[in-house]
Amino acid sequence: ICQAWDFSRRLDGSDEEINKQVEAGKKKFAGFELPGRTLGVVGLGAIGRLVANTAASLGMRVIGYDPNITVEGAWQLKTEVEKASGIEDLLSKSDYVTFHVPLVDATRHMINAERLKIMKKDVVILNFARAGIVDDEAVSAAIKAGQVHSYVCDFPSNLLKNHERVITLPHLGASTAEAENNCAVMVADQVRNYLEHGTVVNSVNFPTVMMERTEGYRIGIVNSNVPNMVGQISTAMANAGLNIIDMLNKSKGDLAYTLADVDKPIAQDVIDEIAAIQGVLAVRTL
């Protein structure tokens, strides 16, 4: 669409001449109809879910992949969205692939020369997440070889900016007055909720942990993601005569985070005992 707009803006001459230019040039903007095509969505957070659900409403077959999706997030997906068994499974079945993940070690060059080989011929790759998730040189070579139809991304570079089958856009997702304000409010709310209630959302390296506050006393514990941590923490509380009203433990990678509400104030010696457990990294009461 952007290229077609640019084409129209460059038309010159009389109306009759412009009409001839349109008829002669419009063939190069021919695209594909979306219904019946398969969209692979990598990353099913808030944005990925919106993309997946919208594509399903447009009649596309949608396959999603996100090893860290929450139960709440899964409930928000349309029932038509299929679950991929792995990233390779998704790539091998998709006509279009779109990315909605952060740039971390596990996602850097997620699309590389090896994975491009298993993708369908004439696949369209869309990356509006982060530069570095897609290996630009590998994609450029795959386009030249006829494996990839086109690449659309938010990250212009000297390699990509003039490529005839690459569309590069400015990274404008949050560049509105409303978005800037909403981001500031969101960050403030999330920091406040963490400080007051221990909840964690939208963290890159921490699991999402949200637990309704009870009338009890809350403790938050960060620990290594190893076996028997919850058992040791629970035992320390039980030995101190604390009854657990509610408890939630989540992990992400090497880290785990536990929130627990108990029926009595938590004495300093109990906090010290939990902090002394091998693998516990931080303890605080809220």
Structural domains of the chain, ranges and CATH numbers in brackets: 31-168 (3.40.50.720), 198-285 (3.30.70.260)
The pTM of the whole model exceeds 0.85: no
Q: ∠ CA(20), CA(21), CA(24), 5° rounding?
A: 85
> DSSP label at 84?
P
DSSP type of residue 86: S
Give residue 122's region: left, alpha or beta (phi > 0; psi -120 to 50). Answer: left
**Which pLDDT does position 217 carry in this prediction?**
95
255: nearest Cα among 208, 278, 222, 228: 222
DSSP string for residues in 227-254: TTHHHHHHHHHHHTTPPEEEEEEEEETT
pLDDT by residue, tens only, the chain of 286 residues: 677 777 888 888 998 898 888 888 887 777 788 999 999 999 999 999 999 999 999 999 999 999 988 888 999 999 999 999 999 999 999 999 999 999 989 999 999 999 999 999 999 999 999 999 999 999 999 999 999 999 999 998 889 888 888 988 887 777 777 888 888 899 999 999 999 999 999 888 899 999 998 888 999 999 999 999 999 999 999 999 999 999 999 999 899 999 999 999 999 999 999 999 999 999 999 9
Output phi, psi for 285, to 5 deg: -100, 150
